[in-house]
Structure 1
Amino acid sequence: MKFTDGFWQLRPGVTALYAQEAYDIAEVTDTPDGSGIMITAPTTVIAKRGDVLNRPVLTTTLSSPAEGVIRVRIAHHTGRNWHGGFPLAGAAAPSTASTKVSATGGELNAGSLVARIAPGAPWDLAFEVEGRRVTGSGNKAQGYLKLAPDASVDPGIVRNARDGGAVPTSTTFVHEQLDLGVGELIYGLGERFGPLVKNGQTVDIWNADGGTSSEQAYKNIPFHLSNRGYGILVNDPGHVSYEIGSESVERVQFSVPGEVLEYFVIAGPTPKDVLGRYTALTGRPPVVPAWSYGLWLSTSFTTDYDEQTVNSFIDEMSARELPVSVFHFDCFWMREFNWCDFEWDPRVFPDPTGMLGRLHDKDLRVSVWINPYIAQRSPLFREAGDAGYLVKRADGSIWQWDLWQAGMGLVDFTNPAATAWYQAKLRALIDQGVDCFKTDFGERIPTDVVWADGSDPERMHNLYTDLYNRAVFDVLNDARGAGEAVLFARSATAGGQSMPVHWGGDSTSTFASMAETLRGGLSLAFSGFAFWSHDIGGFEGMPDAGVFKRWTAFGLLGSHSRFHGSSSYRVPWAFDDEAVEVTRHFTHLKMRLMPYLFQLGVEATRTGAPVMRPMQLEFPDDPAVAHLDRQYMLGPDLLVAPVLSDSGEVEFYLPEGEWTSLLTGQAVEGGRWLRETHDYMSLPLYVRPGTVLPWGAREDRPDYDYHDGLTLRVFRGGSGSHSITVTAPDSTSRDYTADLEEITG
């Protein structure tokens, strides 16, 4: 949100009070993390004693919840209610930071990260990583802003047609502006489909069902990462507005409604270090089952299907040697107008328990679509409404609308009894044979409602998805056991990475949408999410054969892979015979890569490093990769450049060293751009110099004993010996060592 009119003036109707000096710096013991520093910052420079009268101040508190992390809280009136931040599992330990206050200022030392506040004017709060200033809050950076009723800036986010909520009435905001250095680039802020580098953008953290072709996003994360060796989490689940060098071009501004703004500065120095500390604070994913890495085949959205249709797809995939691990039933497994009643439509699935058993006999897992809405026609609407399990309006009536499902209500997951009721419906499906759930929606959450626990509706709009996905993930974890629970979720907020897997939402069936989907996944990876998927071929529309085949190669070179569409089936033979060959080739390749991919997932639980990685995450010191968003690293060792054109021509960059094509074995010298033309059976897939790649013995399934028949493929560009770890699906872990002089790759 922009408050100023150029450099000199405020916009009409805006009154701003800025921290002008650190008038008083004191050590305190009552911060959320124990000991810390409190700074009293008057909104004018105090030149004489009378200046302290009739003068607002901002109170800034510094503390540390963990090594390398500093909490900053800016408050106008400290006695006003604050709706609170995210649940942060990593902020529970006692602080180990040290504080020091002297005539030269205040210092909070959190190990690799230090905050320094200079006394007096001008206001200057600096953050140092390993002794180097990486950013800071300077003159007119910390501000408290009031809007007149006729102010020319919107008092909150501009609502969209599917929101249904009223425009926020807050007329007060707190903002911070942190220095944006020369050459500094900003990444993250959730799954965003525009340019990967966020400089110059305005970003609103407000979950919305906007597809992949707009500025809206399903997964809004108020966390950004800088190439200068630090990250920032704004600890507010409500609406956070960002101006990333787009209002003050020398700064990153973030603002929230109300009286309090809290954020965390997170140290690097490398991007991986930042993500490691960030995910330690907000949550890391558990191990997801090996079978989930296999191909997911869907009924698609509005297609007609019954058990015979399902079996025809599965049997034909098997006959063509196209391994499928999961079969997914989308919305119409339930009767129309009844979503969600969690009952199989008896007109097309008269024997669901028997059908699920027959699918399991074919060695398949089963996924079914759900959402958190209860349609008016569903018998569960009255059941939930009478019990008080649906969100209500201020007058006590049930909140309802007609977008998506006629007269639908919304399950109130702030009510523990409502959560238990919802989970009981899922347990019945699990007992029937369902293995996992696609948790669709969770973004269209109204703000003109009353929650059972009294939560602020603005806070709950983004946070709802966390409660929804947690309810489902927990019931799967309880029923299936640790390491077997997996979702296919669309919406998320900070911490959502602890409930994998997430997919990229509603794309269109074009090369342009394929590219924006990739950008969204890379941005989400920069936001702490280790596992990610997308609709191969695009969701809306029918892809032509070329788009489908190129997207298939891309989609099978990630952590999770799904064929899914809107109004048409996505079985390969619906396109052409070559699409079948492409699917077979890249599905078999992924199965061979499972010892490598599964180990990446295991390591993500310990480090937070994503499976699919932006180039900047692996090569932070190579300036040539800074803006790259059409290629990525699959783990640390495989470089993938999806083909995004009809012609098969692709331009990509190889960092320095001798890289080897995994598909052809050809060695290529890096440190330069390359242009190649690929047929549908190929794409740029290069192995990093000196890699030891564990190569599995099977290509028919993802969940096999990776140690049995394992081959170590050793690639050019290294020397000496190199050890790797391989963990099998049964958790058996072994270390292997290879001599890098013995080139076999």
Structure 2
Amino acid sequence: MPSKNLSDDVTQLYNHISLISSKSACVDFSFVETDYALRVEAHAPGVFRLRVLAVDKLNNEKLSTRAKVHQEMLLVREEAVSEMELATLPDDVGWSLAQGETTLLLYRSPFKAVLQRNEQVIWQSQPSVLTRLDDSAWQWTTLLHEDDALYGLGDTQQELDRRGESLSSTGLARLPLLWSTRGWGLYVNTFSPVTHDLGHQHAELYVAQVHDAKLDLFLFFGEPSEIINQYSALTGRAGQSGLAPMGLWLEAQAHQNAEQINAVVAELEEQGVCLDVLDLGVRDAYVFQADKPLLEWDAERLAHPKAFAERRFELQLAAAGRPIVLADTALFEEWEDRAWLLINDEDGCAYQHPGDEYTQGRPFGLLDLTHKDVMRMWTERQRQMFDEGVAYAYCDANFQIADEVTGRGGETGDLLRAIYPILARQALFEAYAGHKTPQEGLVISSNLFPSAQRFAWQQGPRVENTWDGLERSLKSALAVGNSGVPVQVHRLGNALADTSTMTAELYLRWLASAVFSANFAFQSAPGLLPSAFDADTRALINHWLQWRFRLVPYVLGIIEDAVRTGLSVQRSMAQAFPHDEQARLWDTQYLLGPALLVAPVLHSGIQTKVYLPAGEAWWDMRTGWRYEGGTVLDVEVGLDSIPVFGREGHMLCLGPQAQHISEFNSARLLDEVWMFGMPEHNPVVMRNKIRVMQMQGSSYIKGLEGLKILPSEGLEVKRRGAEVRISRAR
């Protein structure tokens, strides 16, 4: 959306504030000579909420039922839960609003805002920060410090630092959270389009244009991990994904039928690759019957999920079904009469979307998921597919909904396009996970939208089968993690691209990187399966798959932590080490959870470089050697290895060797513990309570009964019943 030119008279209207009233959690100001007010809330520790609204709405802000529903899609916590202390600044130039060590300064005239922590400025607006572009658009301008590196706002396969870019929230890969390495973050709470100029037009300014009748901003302060924690607590977090989906996945191609897919699965089993989940891909696996509101399987492709039942190990199914009904059917006519389909305002009839490859070009209508009865029906039908054997649902719902299309509650245009993917994914999540306590399950999707972080299992992009494609896939996962989405899984290549460029060396490097991630999926294309390579390469593939299973307890532990913190599985250097400017330059390295630094090899050859972040000590998992941070290492890495360094003070809990996730013993998930220096932190591990206590220079650990312990050099282990003592070797 293009930027608008500002006139001086509009700018001056919002240039002077006056105090109206104050409470412990809320302070109201008026914009002098206007009908608008500024409400500032201490929304949570580390969070200020700033809202611009009409003065007559301050004590009478009533939302319609539909507006409340929309707000719940954006926020899970509407009320302010913190407090602040109001004081007048010297010479009556403004006010300070303090939350602990952090203070928001609001200057009277010209109006501007400054955020301080321990009296150090970490964020400030431009004087005359607020301008109104028209009746339904606002502009907020922030001054950028030379040290501001900006992250978030959704997917990118290029530079993770977004400074210098101009982005619109209407893009399909956009998310609303922005943060800076200087310790501030910003979230614009709206479904309306937002344009972010991140120093593109003026290097020293970040300009947000919000095309909404009201302005609602959340200002965060703290480390990136603290900002993401507060953001996800505010907007919602994902449920647990469970053990089963942590195994090996195969993504089938759209044209493959059950017989062809079964042949691929059997071939993989012969090579020692035992799949846990079969993903049928984005093609609709089931559709509504022509004359009944019942879902039926695509007979040409698989007929029924039991077509994959005869396997050595259980093979769970992930399948896609879109909320559509074909236009040339009796069911379409019935639901059009009942107003259960999205409507074309121009003629009052159900809107017919052009056909696509999955409907063989036949036009279709979209279920009106804004209608509660339709939403309930679609959720119930999905629950029936779960009962029939579909373990995980696939959901991409970024339909090109035209401006003239309207939903039941009057939603149209940008609003309808924004909320429709949320409703579609919410229905699937309720069907597949919402009935469980805790809500354990996942819905797979590759499209992004506000609230995407509430649903586990984001799927990575399709990229070229090249070294550049590998790097793009990695950066996409790190960018999404910077934006508050905890899990993005990788495709091991792209079946829709040229597979002849996938060499054995590239394949192994890609696999090694994917093993040290949330998870990945093999691609069911001849050039991207292990059978495409020689025996030595296949042996190395099995080597990496063994590592994958051993890492499952740790990776799932990270995902379980995300339920509480919102932090991602793969964490960029900027997110993990915001004050290390050198680390930010190494933007293809990442932390896997809190304990492991991973530096994938993204080029041909065995020589590579690794940067170890300053202020920490790091243990090479291949050699056991210890290195001080702040250094660059030249390392030699064979195809059976990847540069991984343990963070001092942490532990890595590994599972047993396995071929299939069903081989995990729920009573004994762990097999071995690696220690990186003297343990100081409780380890991240699935469903286990291992506690570390330090006393008199030693660490005492409970929960390691029966496990093999590999201490770092210079440490010794003593077992005393259920307790393990780690101390310096004498």
Say whether the fold is shared (TM-score over 0.5).
yes
Once the two structures are superposed, residues 212-241 of structure 1 have per-residue CA deviations (whole angstroms, 9 ceiling, x without a partner) of: xxxxx2xx2111011111211010122110
Q: Does 1:363 align with 2:314?
A: yes
Partner of 1:385: 336
Partner of 1:226: 180
Q: Does 1:396 align with 2:348?
A: yes
Give unmatched runs, 5+ long, in structure 2.
693-700, 702-708, 718-725
Q: Which has the higher contact order (CA 8 A, sep 6+)?
A: 1
Partner of 1:137: 125
With over 3 angstroms needed to count, the CA separation of the structure-2 counterparts of 1:274 and 1:662, relative to structure 1, is same
Match of 1:117 among 83, 103, 106: 106
- Equivalent positions of 1:253-332 (< 5 A) are 253-268=207-222, 270-302=223-255, 304-306=256-258, 308-331=259-282
**Alignment length, in residue pairs?**
678
C-alpha distance in 1 between matches for 2:633 and 2:479: 24
Asked if the contact 2:287–2:321 (Cα under 8 Å) also holds between the matched residues in 1, the reply is no
Partner of 2:630: 671
C-alpha distance in 1 between matches for 2:371 and 2:112: 44
C-alpha distance in 2 between matches for 1:305 and 1:516: 30
Q: Could you say what secondary structure the match of 1:583 adopts? A: helix
Partner of 2:698: none
Match of 1:742 among 677, 693, 715: 715
With over 3 angstroms needed to count, the CA separation of the structure-2 counterparts of 1:131 and 1:91, relative to structure 1, is farther
Q: Does 1:520 align with 2:472?
A: no
Q: Could you say what secondary structure the match of 2:343 adopts? A: coil
Match of 1:606 among 548, 553, 564: 564
C-alpha distance in 1 between matches for 2:434 and 2:284: 24
Partner of 1:74: 52
Q: Could you say what secondary structure the match of 2:153 adopts? A: strand
With over 3 angstroms needed to count, the CA separation of the structure-2 counterparts of 1:562 and 1:375, relative to structure 1, is farther
With over 3 angstroms needed to count, the CA separation of the structure-2 counterparts of 1:18 and 1:469, relative to structure 1, is farther
Q: Does 1:22 align with 2:16?
A: yes
Match of 2:150 among 170, 178, 186: 186
Which segment is superposed worse, 245-254 or 538-547? 538-547
- Equivalent positions of 1:206-605 (< 5 A) are 206-208=170-172, 217=173, 220-268=174-222, 270-302=223-255, 304-306=256-258, 308-331=259-282, 334=285, 342-350=295-303, 352=304, 354-355=306-307, 357-358=309-310, 362-376=313-327, 381-394=332-345, 395-402=347-354, 404=356, 405=359, 406-442=362-398, 444-478=400-434, 482-543=438-499, 544-546=502-504, 547-564=506-523, 570-605=528-563
Asked if the contact 2:190–2:212 (Cα under 8 Å) also holds between the matched residues in 1, the reply is no
With over 3 angstroms needed to count, the CA separation of the structure-2 counterparts of 1:727 and 1:258, relative to structure 1, is closer
Q: CA deviation at 1:733?
A: 3.4
Asked if the contact 1:325–1:701 (Cα under 8 Å) also holds between the matched residues in 2, the reply is yes
Asked if the contact 1:205–1:222 (Cα under 8 Å) also holds between the matched residues in 2, the reply is yes
Identical-pair percentage: 21
Asked if the contact 2:110–2:128 (Cα under 8 Å) also holds between the matched residues in 1, the reply is no
Q: Could you say what secondary structure the match of 2:152 adopts? A: strand
Asked if the contact 1:40–1:60 (Cα under 8 Å) also holds between the matched residues in 2, the reply is yes
With over 3 angstroms needed to count, the CA separation of the structure-2 counterparts of 1:495 and 1:173, relative to structure 1, is same
Q: CA deviation at 1:174?
A: 0.5
Q: CA deviation at 1:485?
A: 1.2
Which segment is superposed worse, 536-545 or 274-283? 536-545
With over 3 angstroms needed to count, the CA separation of the structure-2 counterparts of 1:724 and 1:698, relative to structure 1, is farther
Q: CA deviation at 1:454?
A: 2.0
Q: Does 1:700 align with 2:659?
A: yes
C-alpha distance in 1 between matches for 2:633 and 2:80: 51
Once the two structures are superposed, residues 619-652 of structure 1 have per-residue CA deviations (whole angstroms, 9 ceiling, x without a partner) of: 2232211233212111112122222223455433
Asked if the contact 1:19–1:139 (Cα under 8 Å) also holds between the matched residues in 2, the reply is no
Once the two structures are superposed, residues 192-213 of structure 1 have per-residue CA deviations (whole angstroms, 9 ceiling, x without a partner) of: 22310011000111143xxxxx
Asked if the contact 2:288–2:295 (Cα under 8 Å) also holds between the matched residues in 1, the reply is no
Asked if the contact 1:714–1:742 (Cα under 8 Å) also holds between the matched residues in 2, the reply is no
Asked if the contact 1:286–1:498 (Cα under 8 Å) also holds between the matched residues in 2, the reply is yes
Which segment is superposed worse, 693-702 or 110-119? 110-119
C-alpha distance in 1 between matches for 2:180 and 2:294: 45
Give unmatched runs, 5+ long, in structure 1.
5-9, 43-51, 147-170, 209-216
AA partner of residue 508 (structure 2):
K
C-alpha distance in 2 between matches for 1:195 and 1:283: 27
TM superposition score normalised by structure 1 = 0.83
Partner of 1:630: 588
With over 3 angstroms needed to count, the CA separation of the structure-2 counterparts of 1:77 and 1:593, relative to structure 1, is same
C-alpha distance in 1 between matches for 2:468 and 2:213: 42
C-alpha distance in 2 between matches for 1:188 and 1:686: 26
Q: CA deviation at 1:589?
A: 0.3
Partner of 1:661: 620
Partner of 2:603: 645
Q: Could you say what secondary structure the match of 1:142 adopts? A: strand
Q: CA deviation at 1:568?
A: 5.8
Asked if the contact 1:16–1:144 (Cα under 8 Å) also holds between the matched residues in 2, the reply is yes
C-alpha distance in 1 between matches for 2:331 and 2:534: 44
Asked if the contact 2:517–2:570 (Cα under 8 Å) also holds between the matched residues in 1, the reply is yes
Asked if the contact 1:62–1:108 (Cα under 8 Å) also holds between the matched residues in 2, the reply is no
Q: CA deviation at 1:409?
A: 2.0
Match of 2:96 among 95, 104, 107: 107
Q: CA deviation at 1:489?
A: 1.2
C-alpha distance in 1 between matches for 2:394 and 2:535: 30
Partner of 1:49: none
Match of 2:162 among 198, 201, 207: 198
Asked if the contact 1:548–1:579 (Cα under 8 Å) also holds between the matched residues in 2, the reply is no
Partner of 2:84: 98
With over 3 angstroms needed to count, the CA separation of the structure-2 counterparts of 1:666 and 1:68, relative to structure 1, is closer
Q: Could you say what secondary structure the match of 2:279 adopts? A: strand
Which segment is superposed worse, 572-581 or 702-711? 702-711
AA partner of residue 310 (structure 2):
R
Asked if the contact 2:516–2:548 (Cα under 8 Å) also holds between the matched residues in 1, the reply is yes
Q: CA deviation at 1:519?
A: 1.6
Q: CA deviation at 1:522?
A: 0.9
Once the two structures are superposed, residues 368-387 of structure 1 have per-residue CA deviations (whole angstroms, 9 ceiling, x without a partner) of: 12334444356654454343
Q: Does 1:710 align with 2:644?
A: no
With over 3 angstroms needed to count, the CA separation of the structure-2 counterparts of 1:578 and 1:429, relative to structure 1, is farther
Q: Does 1:724 align with 2:713?
A: no
Once the two structures are superposed, residues 650-686 of structure 1 have per-residue CA deviations (whole angstroms, 9 ceiling, x without a partner) of: 4332224553333454555542223445443332222
Match of 1:683 among 639, 642, 647: 642
Asked if the contact 2:418–2:450 (Cα under 8 Å) also holds between the matched residues in 1, the reply is no
TM superposition score normalised by structure 2 = 0.84
Once the two structures are superposed, residues 428-487 of structure 1 have per-residue CA deviations (whole angstroms, 9 ceiling, x without a partner) of: 211211111111243534332211122353223223222111110011114565353111
With over 3 angstroms needed to count, the CA separation of the structure-2 counterparts of 1:451 and 1:112, relative to structure 1, is farther
With over 3 angstroms needed to count, the CA separation of the structure-2 counterparts of 1:207 and 1:400, relative to structure 1, is farther
Give structure 1 regions of 4+ aligned residues with deviation exceeding 6 angstroms.
76-84, 335-341
With over 3 angstroms needed to count, the CA separation of the structure-2 counterparts of 1:643 and 1:425, relative to structure 1, is same
AA partner of residue 419 (structure 1):
M
Q: CA deviation at 1:600?
A: 1.1
AA partner of residue 567 (structure 2):
A
Once the two structures are superposed, residues 263-315 of structure 1 have per-residue CA deviations (whole angstroms, 9 ceiling, x without a partner) of: 100121x111111111111112221111211111121233x322x33332222
C-alpha distance in 2 between matches for 1:341 and 1:516: 41
